[in-house]
Chains A and B, each alone.
Chain A
Amino acid sequence: MASQLIREWAGIQQFPAATQSKLLELLGKLKQENVCTLTILVMGKGGVGKSSTVNSIIGERAVAVSAFQSETPRPVMVSRSRAGFTLNIIDTPGLVEGGYVNDQALDLIKKFLLNKTIDVLLYVDRLDAYRVDNLDKQIVKAITESFGKEIWRRGIVVLSHAQLSPPDGLTYDEFTSRRSEALLKIVRMGARIRKQEIQAAAIPVVLVENSGRCNKNESDEKILPSGTAWIPNLVQTITDVVLSGSKGILVDQKLIEGPNPNNRGKVLIPFILAFQYFFVVKRIQKWIKYDIANESSPSWA
């Protein structure tokens, strides 16, 4: 799939002029920093709007989307180039099946990503899901275990379905901040980011609304209830993350399989053996000698 022809990013022209100019400005900024390709990995539970988000960013219907069933049985990479800049977005199947993390899907993703560098991870969840549970944590953990903790330095939490009316008694801003805070907490727990590191590795949260009924502003940009145009905002955040100084994650064999536990400590084996002989076997032999010396002999002996 990597060999597939990289098409011209035509979809960008469908964006409103304001968005277009903003995007081009950001791409220019990236090019200035010598970033000519950007690979974005989109992950999340099933049906949260991963594919739709991909389509929204590209600006065309690049991956099939269905409201009721998973249309993404395997990872798909969509590549578009524009003015010497290549944008790769990898859409992945949902990570949850039957109430458990789908290891098989994760394996597929890992194999797909082999020898690719991930610049940005978009972890997608719905804004209108009210609660977080252990499963979310499991997913984050599975991602962390697969690609390492470092991936969260390139991570962005994306909350889809952002156009909603908050429950009673809460303003939209309050609701979004609480929802994102709850999700971030889970992500931090799953990724085992320690409290001291939170400041350094703050994970940005971006709201998106992929629906066609999304409100638009005067320049025809899709906007959130808060009034922000979300596509430029998302791309802006991605750019910020890319330019934040951290490195992209190169997915190689080693990363996929994790550190081979069979190789860990192999060098130490001779020392371990020597330790066992001198400190365990010898000690037990000493005990046996002690036993023999202390053996109560029968009266006749």
Chain B
Amino acid sequence: MASIAAPGLALSVHRSHRRLTPATATTTTAASVPSLTIKSKHPTFPSSLNPKPSSSSPRNNFDILGSKKLQNVIKTTAVIGCGLYALSNGVSNAQLSGNGGGGSSGGSGGGGGGGGGGGGRDSFWSKIFSPAAIAGEEESQEWDSHGLPANIVVQLNKLSGFKKYKVSDIMFLDRRRGSTVGTEDSFFEMVSLRPNGVYTKAQLTKELETLATSGMFEKVDLDAKTNPDGTVGVTISFLESTWQSADRFRCINVGLMPQSKPIEMDPDMTEKEKLEYYRSQEKDYRRRIERSRPCLLPPPVQREILQMLREQGAVSARLLQKIRDRVQQWYHENGYACAQVVNFGNLNTKEVVCEVVEGDITQMVVQFQDKLGNVCEGNTQYPVVRRELPRQLRQGQVFNIEAGKQALRNINSLALFSNIEVNPRPDEKNEGGIIVEIKLKELEQKSAEVSTEWSIVPGRGGRPTLASIQPGGTVSFEHRNLKGLNRSILGSVTTSNFLNPQDDLAFKLEYVHPYLDGVYNSRNRTLKASCFNSRKLSPVFTGGPGVDEVPPIWVDRAGLKANITENFTRQSKFTYGLVMEEITTRDESSHISSRGQRVLPSGGISADGPPTTLSETGIDRMAFLQANITRDNTKFINGTIVGERNVFQVDQGLGIGSKFPFFNRHQLTMTRFVQLKQVEEGVGKAPPPVLVLHGHYGGCVGDLPSYDAFTLGGPYSVRGYNMGEIGAARNILELAAELRIPVRNTHVYAFAEHGNDLGSSKDVKGNPTEVYRRMGHGSSYGVGVKLGLVRAEYAVDHNSGTGAIFFRFGERF
């Protein structure tokens, strides 16, 4: 019977840029405001027909909102407020578009509220949207004088139907207490009339009817008192409904259940028939309770309400209103945005039954939209979206706004859609049901991009000049969402000189194939195959303290890689695959060099340093298996990371390649972020102090070319040293501890680190550690402060005993 009007709450994400440029992409969420108005269409009975509740059958059920009725009538006007939602994942813009009211389901028997009435009913809602709520009633500022002598009390039906009355003030008169009620009273919120509003007689009559049928009052009247200036003062006098005291409380979910239909009571019924009628009603209600599902309301809240009932004694309309507010408050605080109390039944029976429509999801619809917002057929396959949806959003569950947000985040992380909306909509066919609509706008499948750059350097006279006329830049293309299964091919080529690209061509071609076990399988494995190259400066060929420049060695790698990643959780994963690569070592002038160079004590340079490759030719080819397992249960507590991270990686040579490399190169990293103090979680609360303990062991058995040796020293190894300044070894151990103390909205930290080659430097061919006069072990300590993304730290290197200030990007651990 209840009709749910007004658009529901909508969550949406808008992606304004393509995935290729994530740095500049903005994600906006427009969370439009949920406003569900449930209105009933029950016929109203003339009050004279209704016996006084307290004197009627003690086992009757009374609807608080339709008092003085014998039927179980559901009639509530509840507006659900869901406030403002902003997604945590990079939402820059949240919109709130209110749509209060609109539930003008003018009841046949006059039970329906006025058009704009719905909007102003709920206190919470009306506070936010009071302008919108009143707007409908103040369409015209013109009003008519009452044309009556001043200071006389006029009954509502005596007012003229053709005049627009201006209401100067509204007074509530509690007849039982004999006093007026303040504006803070919960009853006051039920009235949509506002002082200085202009109303016709019809509107006022409707208002009175609404109040009379709300069930809160046994009797309610509306009088107008004429003022000398032509306006009228409205006095609403009422008698609050009360029932027997109750000592039990029960909350049931009546969503999706047909509302009990009142059987017309024949006014000519005999006493016996009446008794029969009551009994059948009672039976119906009991059956209804039995059929209903248990509700989500937790026992503590239920006990709290029971306490309220016991303290109060008699059950009054105000109390029921309070209970309703408390119950709804719990639901809304816990994200059940569509839940509402629709009825209180079983009154006068020592038990109060609170009927809640929790917002059961009857259907979940995924809809694709084209650029203009028209519904279209999407390229993405439905199961791809479906597997991202939390179970709580499936059919049969109770709609929860948090689950909606989670769905939004999950779908957003697919990076397939430019706009995502999760929108609960009332189910027209299924009373109290919610249809979750997910509207998706797909991103362009193919994209290509060319970016060029010219280097500008200061020229003669300080004027900027082009370093050269050769153009450099990146050409990239991407083909996303192949077959609608989120498979993609991505390629890019970067060079600093397109005219002569063989100098420093960097390329990457990658194919990503998610849902390896089938899109319906919950196992989340992704296959990735790529073809890559890279160029890095080898930290193995670095001098120790006090050693002059060591001629650098560049390590170029090019090859193929195929791996499978299995995600266990968002952060924990297991990757395994095959790598085939060619490693070329070059000197400064890009010539292939098979041995490192060293500076002789006499100042000369000799090219008989440690061998750079296993084959001793400067070019190695090898194939090996690579596996990496990461366990990461870190989480953020007030912006500070806490938890544990363990990574184990092993490269297993297969004996395929130059000199048949057979090796087992392994490393284990253990990092713990120990929370030193329990803190309250919440926005703006101080983060806890954290102790970070970190250990890293690396080792290799078998063939170890120098480019695969473990190096010690550097911002991610032992701070305070240069990359590789401590040594290059076969087995290494690094230990670090850092204490982070929050200060304002950042933190300061102190750290101590140590790196040791475990005497294994000599086990690297050519002993690069000794050749370049490095210690093989070293410690450092220091202090630092985090300034946004930048870490500024002062670190003292223990080998030379000198300190220096460093600025680093990103985190050490």
Contacts and interface: CB of A to CB of B under 8 A. Distances in A.
B702 A281 contact: no
Interface string B763-802: 1110000010000000000000000000000000000000
A261 B765 contact: yes
B648 A284 contact: yes
B574 interface: yes
A74 to B, nearest CB: 15
A245 interface: no
A262 B704 contact: yes
A243 interface: no
Interface in A257-293: 258, 260-266, 268-269, 272-273, 276, 280-281, 284-285, 287-289, 291-292
A177 to B, nearest CB: 35
B664 A284 contact: no
Nearest to A269: B664
A281 B648 contact: yes
B627 interface: yes
Given A99-B601, A301-B403, 12 more contacts: A100-B601, A260-B765, A261-B704, A261-B764, A266-B702, A268-B701, A269-B664, A269-B702, A276-B648, A284-B631, A300-B402, A301-B392
Report the contact-size class of chain B (Cβ under 8 Å from the partner): 35 or more
Nearest to B603: A98
Interface in B190-226: none
Interface string B563-581: 0000011001010000000
Interface in B635-692: 646, 648, 650, 652, 662-664, 666, 668
Interface in B679-721: 701-704
Nearest to B653: A269
B811 to A, nearest CB: 21
Given A261-B764, A266-B662, A285-B574, A300 B702 contact: no
Contact of A291 (B336, B572, B600, B663): B572
28 contacts: A97-B602, A98-B601, A99-B601, A100-B601, A104-B608, A107-B608, A258-B762, A261-B765, A262-B614, A263-B702, A264-B701, A264-B763, A269-B662, A269-B663, A269-B664, A269-B701, A272-B664, A281-B574, A281-B629, A281-B648, A285-B574, A285-B629, A292-B568, A298-B402, A299-B402, A300-B334, A300-B400, A301-B391
A273 B629 contact: no
B701 A284 contact: no
Contacts of B569: 288, 291-292, 295
A173 interface: no
Nearest to B648: A280
B551 interface: no
A103 B601 CA distance: 11
List the 7 shortest-distance A-B pairs measured between CB atoms, nearest first.
A98-B601, A261-B763, A300-B400, A265-B701, A291-B633, A262-B703, A288-B572
Contacts of A276: 648, 650, 664, 666
Given A261-B730, A264-B763, A273-B652, A300 B392 contact: yes
A132 B569 CA distance: 63
Interface of A: 97-100, 102-104, 107, 258, 260-266, 268-269, 272-273, 276, 280-281, 284-285, 287-289, 291-292, 295, 298-301
B408 to A, nearest CB: 14
B334 to A, nearest CB: 6
Given A272-B664, A300-B400, A287 B701 contact: no
Contacts of B230: none
Contacts of B335: 299-300
A134 to B, nearest CB: 14
B710 to A, nearest CB: 14
Contacts of A265: 701-702
Given A269-B701, A292-B568, A284 B646 contact: yes
Contact of B602 (A98, A289, A295, A300): A98
Contacts of A98: 601-602
Contacts of A299: 334-335, 402
B390 interface: yes
B589 to A, nearest CB: 24
Contacts of B730: 261
B701 A272 contact: yes
Contact of A280 (B391, B406, B606, B668): B668
Q: Which of A98, A107, A262, A266 has the most CB of B within 10 A?
A: A262
B9 to A, nearest CB: 15
A36 B353 CA distance: 116
A263 B659 CA distance: 12
Contacts of B631: 284, 287-288, 291
B17 to A, nearest CB: 30
Interface in B537-573: 568-569, 572
B771 A103 contact: yes
B310 to A, nearest CB: 28
Contacts of B701: 264-266, 268-269, 272
Given A100-B601, A269-B664, A301-B392, A262 B702 contact: yes
Contact of B650 (A99, A263, A273, A285): A273
A269 B664 CA distance: 6
A266 B652 CA distance: 12
A148 to B, nearest CB: 14
A280 B764 CA distance: 25
A209 B787 CA distance: 71
Nearest to B705: A262
A154 B188 CA distance: 111
Interface string B109-143: 00000000000000000000000000000000000
Contacts of A99: 601
Contacts of B601: 97-100, 102
Contacts of B336: 300
A190 B574 CA distance: 48
A56 B84 CA distance: 101
B597 to A, nearest CB: 13
A284 B568 CA distance: 12
A281 B703 CA distance: 23
A285 B668 CA distance: 14
Contacts of A292: 568-569
Contacts of A264: 701, 763
Q: Which of A99, A100, A287 has the most CB of B within 10 A?
A: A287
A287 to B, nearest CB: 5
Contacts of A104: 600, 606, 608
A183 B56 CA distance: 119
A147 to B, nearest CB: 16
Nearest to A145: B762
A284 to B, nearest CB: 5
A263 B614 CA distance: 12
Contacts of B633: 291
Contacts of A285: 574, 629
A100 B664 CA distance: 35
A289 to B, nearest CB: 8
A289 B629 CA distance: 13
Nearest to A301: B392
B285 to A, nearest CB: 30
Nearest to A300: B400
Contacts of B646: 284, 287
Contacts of A102: 601
Contacts of A280: 648, 668
B664 A301 contact: no
Interface in B579-603: 600-602
A221 B668 CA distance: 69
A176 to B, nearest CB: 33
Nearest to A295: B569
B499 to A, nearest CB: 43
Q: Which of A99, A288, A299 has the most CB of B within 10 A?
A: A288
Nearest to A289: B568
Nearest to A257: B765
A298 B335 CA distance: 11
Contacts of A288: 568-569, 572, 631
A298 to B, nearest CB: 6
